């Protein structure tokens, strides 16, 4: 097993670097983490898979750039759930430490790639809505399907490159530098750089959504002064109000789920963490999984087009189920008529 400098507060660990980061000491803590990861992970995979199916099974929906970004968000959240749950439960619940440094950093890179891509997809969704409300007349020219696919390609490539830097050599074993107190083999300088990257993403998301909220509020105030104008403009006002409510939910959930983890990561860069805080960090990490579970509800199921598509799918499923239940009765009726004849 590769060894390198252990966390300063992990002096009780001897030899095995990985064991220093297994902070869940009681069976109750391990069971709690296992239940949270299993519940959030299962729901996240199911919900986001449903969103992907609704998007790519409808030709009219999958042609729109905004739904390509939501599809990217759903894909990132599925990958984040699968990789995070498998690696996190394997490490903290089953205390599996028999794999090499490269395998661990590969798993960590997969988690970082998927979570970073999830946040970046949120940013593209924010920019898409920013353009749609700030420059509505030019939106279709600015946001084409080709540009949307190009943006998604750059997004995933950038996230994967940044996430794989520790595997490529930017780790405290190769550099013989200060290791993070939260992640094995991770260099503190890399963690600081990744935090800056995530903070920039969150800042851009908040700025774009704040602008959209401001424009929506401005539009509502304008419409309240011109109540005589009805019809299409009133419909647009209701859409803006709904959009504003959706964005308030988005920002609230985003800040609630990510702030505890980011605060503890930032604190670990500048100060030492005791075992209690490291346990708190382990539990707070599941909030990022919760965010991935809530994303499809906020972004997708509040969309009228996707909700209508979902209703059609359920209606089709009910018809098939009803037909399968009625078919044995029809067959028995047919047999009895043959016997009578």
Nearest in space to 213 (alpha carbons), one of 240, 253, 250:
240
Torsional sign, CA 256, 33, 103, 293: negative
The pLDDT of residue 25:
80
Q: How many Å apart are CA 182 and CA 155, to the nearest integer?
A: 26
pLDDT digit string (tens) for 87-134? 888 888 887 766 788 888 999 999 999 989 998 998 898 888 888 877
Q: What is the DSSP string of 95-151?
A: ----S-HHHHHHHHHHHHHHHHHHHHHHHHHHHHHHHHHHSGGGHHHHS-HHHHHHH
Q: How many Å apart are CA 60 and CA 44, to the nearest integer?
A: 25
The pLDDT of residue 174:
85
Contact 140, 186 (CB under 8 A): no
Tell me the C-alpha to C-alpha distance, in Å, between residue 248 and each of 115, 159, 221, 242, 291: 21, 26, 18, 10, 15
Three-state DSSP class for residue 171: strand
Task: Tell me the Ramachandran region of residue 184: left when phi exceeds 0, alpha when psi lies from -120 to 50, beta otherwise.
Answer: beta
The pLDDT of residue 1:
46
Domains and CATH numbers, the chain: 23-306 (1.20.1070.10)
The pLDDT of residue 14:
39
The pLDDT of residue 192:
92
Question: In whole angstroms, how large is the CA radius of gyration of the chain?
Answer: 25
User: Is this prediction's pTM over 0.85?
Assistant: no
- Chunked into runs of 10 residues, the chain (341 residues) has average pLDDT values of 49 54 84 90 92 86 86 92 90 78 89 91 86 82 90 94 92 85 89 91 86 75 61 53 68 87 90 87 89 82 77 82 68 47 39
- HEC string for 99-112: CCHHHHHHHHHHHH
């Amino acid at each position: 097993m590769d060894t390198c400098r252990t966390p300063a507060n992990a002096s009780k660990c001897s030899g095995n670097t990985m064991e220093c980061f297994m902070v869940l000491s009681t069976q109750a803590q391990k069971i709690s983490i296992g239940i949270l990861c299993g519940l959030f992970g299962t729901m996240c995979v199911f919900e986001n898979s449903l969103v992907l199916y609704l998007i790519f099974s409808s030709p009219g929906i999958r042609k729109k750039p905004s739904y390509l970004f939501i599809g990217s968000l759903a894909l990132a959240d599925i990958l984040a759930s699968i990789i995070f749950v498998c690696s996190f439960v394997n490490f903290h619940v089953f205390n599996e430490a028999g794999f090499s440094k490269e395998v661990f950093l590969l798993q960590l890179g997969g988690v970082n790639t998927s979570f970073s891509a999830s946040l970046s997809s949120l940013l593209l969704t924010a920019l898409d809505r920013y353009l749609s409300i700030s420059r509505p007349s030019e939106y279709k020219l600015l946001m084409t399907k080709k540009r949307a696919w190009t943006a998604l390609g750059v997004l995933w490539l950038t996230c994967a490159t940044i996430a794989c830097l520790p595997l490529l050599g930017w780790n405290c074993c190769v550099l013989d530098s200060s290791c993070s107190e939260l992640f094995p083999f991770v260099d503190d300088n890399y963690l600081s750089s990744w935090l800056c990257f995530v903070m920039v993403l969150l800042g851009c998301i908040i700025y774009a959504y704040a602008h959209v909220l401001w424009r929506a509020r401005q539009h509502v105030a304008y419409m309240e002064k011109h109540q005589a104008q009805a019809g299409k403009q009133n419909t647009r006002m209701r859409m803006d109000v709904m959009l504003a409510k959706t964005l308030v939910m988005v920002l609230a959930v985003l800040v609630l789920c990510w702030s505890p983890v980011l605060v503890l990561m930032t604190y670990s860069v500048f100060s030492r963490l005791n075992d209690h805080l490291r346990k708190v960090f382990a539990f707070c990490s599941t909030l990022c999984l919760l965010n991935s579970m809530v994303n499809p509800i906020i972004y997708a199921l509040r969309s009228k087009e996707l909700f209508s598509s979902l209703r059609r799918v359920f209606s089709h499923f009910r018809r098939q189920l009803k037909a399968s239940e009625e078919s044995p009765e029809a067959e028995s009726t047919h047999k009895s008529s043959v016997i009578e004849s």
